[in-house]
Amino acid sequence: MDRTATAPPAAWAGIDVSKDTLDACLLPGPGGKPRERAFANDPAGHAALAAWADECSAGAAVGFCLESTGAYGEALATALADAGRHVAVVNPARVKSAGLMRGQGNKTDRADARLIAEYAQRERPPAWHPPRPEVREWQALSRRRDDLRRLAAGEKTRLAAPGLTAAVRTSLDRVVAFLAKEADRLRAQADAVVAADEHLRASRELLRTIPGVGPVAATALLAELPDPARFATAQQAAAYAGLAPSEYRSGTSVKTRTRLSKAGHARLRKALDLPAPTATRFNPLVAAFYERLVAAGKPKMAAVGACMRKLLTIAYGVLKSGTPFDPTRGSKITPLTTHHLVRPEPAREPSRAGRPGRLRLGVPVVRPPGLRAGEPRRDLLSYV
3-state helix, strand, coil in the chain (%, to 5): 50, 10, 40
- The band of 230, judged by pLDDT with boundaries at 50, 70 and 90, is confident
Which helix (H) or strand (E) segment holds residue 26: the answer is strand 21-27
Q: Is the separation of the CB atoms in 29 and 119 below 8 Å? A: no
pLDDT digits over 105-130, tens only? 778 999 999 999 999 999 999 999 88
What backbone torsions phi and psi does residue 6 show, to the nearest 5 degrees?
A: -70, -35
Go through 59-69 and write b for each residue having 16 or more CB atoms within 10 A of its CB, e for each that does not: ebbbbbbbbbe
Quote the pLDDT of residue 384: 28
Asked if residue 340 has pLDDT above 60, the reply is no
Quote the pLDDT of residue 330: 60
User: Three-state DSSP class for 238?
Assistant: helix
Q: Residue 108 has what DSSP assignment?
A: -
Strand-strand pairing, 35-40 and 21-27: antiparallel
Pick from 244, 235, 336, 234: which is nearest to 282 by CA?
Answer: 336
Pick from 185, 96, 173: which is nearest to 141 by CA?
Answer: 185
Q: Residue 359 has what DSSP assignment?
A: B
User: Three-state DSSP class for 115?
Assistant: helix
- The band of 350, judged by pLDDT with boundaries at 50, 70 and 90, is low
Quote the pLDDT of residue 377: 38
Distance of CA 35 to the CA centre of its chain: 35
Q: Can you list the alpha helix ranges (DSSP code H) found in 133-274?
A: 133-159, 166-196, 198-207, 215-224, 234-240, 266-270
| pTM listed for this prediction | 0.74
Q: What is the mean pLDDT of residues 361-375?
A: 43
Q: Please report, as a single letter, which amino acid is at residue 89.
A: V
**Cα–Cα distance between 16 and 39 in angstroms, integer?**
11
Q: Please report, as a single letter, which amino acid is at residue 44.
A: A
Q: Is the separation of the CB atoms in 332 and 310 below 8 Å? A: no
Asked if residue 274 has pLDDT above 60, the reply is yes
Quote the pLDDT of residue 5: 46
Quote the pLDDT of residue 35: 92
**Residue that wins the pLDDT comparison between 335 and 42:** 42
Q: What is the mean pLDDT of residues 229-249?
A: 88
Quote the pLDDT of residue 339: 46
What backbone torsions phi and psi does residue 285 show, to the nearest 5 degrees?
A: -70, -50
CATH topology of domain 11-123: Nucleotidyltransferase; domain 5 (3.30.420)
Domain map (residue ranges) of the chain: 11-123, 132-196, 212-384
**Cα–Cα distance between 123 and 91 in angstroms, integer?**
12
